[in-house]
Amino acid sequence: MITLTSVTKVFGAATNPVRALDGVSLAVDAGEIFGVIGQSGAGKSTLIRTVNLLERPDSGSVSVADRELTALSDRDLLHARREIGMVFQQFNLLDSRTVRGNVELALEVVGVGRRERASRTNEILELVGLENKANQYPAQLSGGQKQRVGIARALASRPRVLLSDEATSALDPETTHSILQLLKSLNRDLGLTILLITHEMDVVKSICDSAALMSGGRILEQGRLVDLLAQPGSQLARGLFPLGELPDGNSTVIDVTFVGLSSARPVVARLARTHQLDVGLLGAAMETIGGAQSGRTRLELPGTIDAHTAAISDLRAQGLVVEIVRSGR
Ligand SMILES: Nc1ncnc2c1ncn2[C@@H]1O[C@H](COP(=O)(O)OP(=O)(O)OP(=O)(O)O)[C@@H](O)[C@H]1O
């Protein structure tokens, strides 16, 4: 649904250029929620703004819903942008307009008639749970309600894609949760494809199907969360399941990741029994990630890694992902 190919964007003077996007390629499937995560300055905002060409790339191409936006004339681009809604961290509402007025504005600018505007706005306000707030002004709303107006406005032109630029960063944890759940239900009920940027792993964990990790204008990793969890060495997978620091010592330490049904199996007990091992449990986490029940366990095994090749092969044969965090001495 969204494809970025080798997109580059450089800011600043030629003497001191900032490569905000450095050959970024990204593929977001129709109907999924895709999260781009990275630290401040990684290039996330620039990336999301190139998807609707608020920011025009210096090179590379951007396609949304099978149309290459980078090849369109300005007039055709205006039309194509109706397929793409966007929500912002600071809501960007007009204070002088009511909730209804803010949502209707998005329809006025694309020439939708008065009656159609009113009926569509009623429909959308109900969808975001604001039917009772239609005549209030932004100053009378909480942060979460303001973001619901922002989402309603973004949905007014019935887009197929929603871009979310840190939509929950200005909200408290409880409100964040309710807005994320709203995005999830819009994704499910309307088949809306959502591309969001965030600096919080919890946002990725709670609603995303896929994710990309950005740093220094580049994508370091991307994919479906269930696939990343099964990929040894994945930084995203480590972020989804932080297991803390390694203990001191000379023991062997392994991380065992379970994706899907295998998580229910008594892996540790079986390992201890079959291989007569004194297994130490250093950490464990269990989550539903990307729609699958997943877990990661950090185990400490006595002695060197060479003593455990049979046990590790056995775990891998069961479909578990084993990563050797430290080879004992
Ligand atoms: N209009 C601009 N002019 C000059 N430099 C810019 C501009 N926009 C972004 N940059 C620079 O590009 C780099 C990427 O910025 P960007 O805002 O995309 O990162 P980000 O990951 O969204 O960060 P944050 O989470 O802090 O918003 C940064 O070094 C930033 O200073």
Q: Which residue's CA is the nearest one to ligand 1's atom 4?
A: 11
pLDDT at 287: 80
Closest CA to 125 of 105, 96, 155: 155
Note whether 56 and 177 are same-domain residues: yes
- How many structural domains is the chain composed of? 2
Residue 293 falls inside a structural domain: yes
- Put simply, whether the predicted model's pTM sits higher than 0.90 gets the answer no
In a domain, 166, yes or no: yes
**Residues contacting residue 73 through CB under 8 Å, at least 6 positions apart:** none
pLDDT computed for residue 294 by the predictor:
82
Residue 27 sits in the same domain as residue 132: yes
Q: Is residue 66 in some structural domain?
A: yes
User: Are residues 284 and 165 part of one domain?
Assistant: no
Pairing of strands 321-326, 218-224: unpaired
Instruction: Say which DSSP state 157 is in.
Output: T
Distances 60 to 25, 26, 276, 288 between C-alpha atoms, Å? 9, 11, 56, 36
Rounded distance between C-alpha atoms, residue 281 and residue 71, angstroms: 55
Structural domain for 178, as ranges: 2-229
40 CA → ligand 1 middle, Å: 8
Ligand 1 binding pocket mutation candidate from 9, 10, 18, 201 (most atoms within 8 A of CB): 18
Kindly report the CATH number assigned to the domain that includes residue 17.
3.40.50.300
The reply to whether 236 falls in a domain is no
Residues of the chain with pLDDT below 50 are: none
Question: What confidence score (pLDDT) does residue 264 get?
Answer: 53
Whether 224 and 251 map to the same domain: the answer is no
Residues 273 and 315 in one domain: yes
Q: Cβ neighbours of residue 191 under 8 Å, at least 6 residues apart?
A: 30, 31, 160
AA identity, residue 90: Q
Does residue 154 belong to any structural domain of this protein? yes
User: Which amino acids bring their CB within 6 angstroms of ligand 1?
Assistant: 11-12, 18, 20, 38, 40-46, 199
- Measured in angstroms, how far is the CA atom of residue 144 from the centroid of ligand 1? 26
Q: Which of 202, 229, 256 lies at the terminal end of a domain, its last residue?
A: 229
Provide the pLDDT for residue 1.
Answer: 95
Give dist(CA 134, CA 108) in Å, integer: 17
Q: Do 122 and 254 belong together in one domain? A: no
**Does 234 reside within a domain?**
no
**Are 172 and 310 within one domain?**
no
Whether residues 204 and 287 share a domain: the answer is no
Cα–Cα dist 212/298, whole Å:
24
Output the CA 41–ligand 1 centroid distance in Å. 5
Going by alpha carbons, the residue nearest to atom 29 of ligand 1 is 41
Which ligand 1 atom lies nearest to the CA of residue 217? Answer: 14
Q: Which atom of ligand 1 lies nearest, measured to the CA of 21?
A: 14
Query: Which of 44, 168, 169, 215 to mutate to test ligand 1, by most ligand atoms within 8 A of the CB atom?
Result: 44
CATH number at residue 314: 3.30.70.260
* Domain final residue pick, 205, 229, 253: 229
Query: Which residue, of 192, 208, 229, is where some domain finishes?
Result: 229
pLDDT in tens, 227-254: 898 887 889 988 888 877 788 888 899 9
- Are residues 140 and 253 both part of a single domain? no
Residue 200: Cβ-neighbour burial (10 angstroms; 0-12, 13-18, 19+): middle
Instruction: Indicate whether 225 and 246 sit together in one domain.
Output: no
Please check whether residue 133 lies inside any domain of the structure: yes
Residue 47 CB neighbour total at 10 angstroms: 26
Q: What is the pLDDT of residue 284?
A: 82
Site to substitute for ligand 1 among 19, 46, 164, most atoms within 8 A of C-beta: 46
* Tokens (6 digits) for 146: 């303001």
Q: What is the pLDDT of residues 271-329, one digit of tens each?
A: 888 888 888 888 888 887 777 778 888 999 888 888 888 888 988 888 888 988 888 77
- Ligand 1: which of 9, 10, 11 to mutate, judged by most atoms within 8 Å of the beta carbon? 11
Same domain, yes or no: 136 and 257: no
Distance CA 71, CA 64 (A): 12
Q: How far is the CA of 285 from the centre of ligand 1 (A)?
A: 34
Q: What ipTM did this prediction achieve?
A: 0.96
Residues 18 and 90 in one domain: yes
N- to C-terminal Cα separation, the chain:
50
Cβ pair 208, 214 in contact under 8 A: no
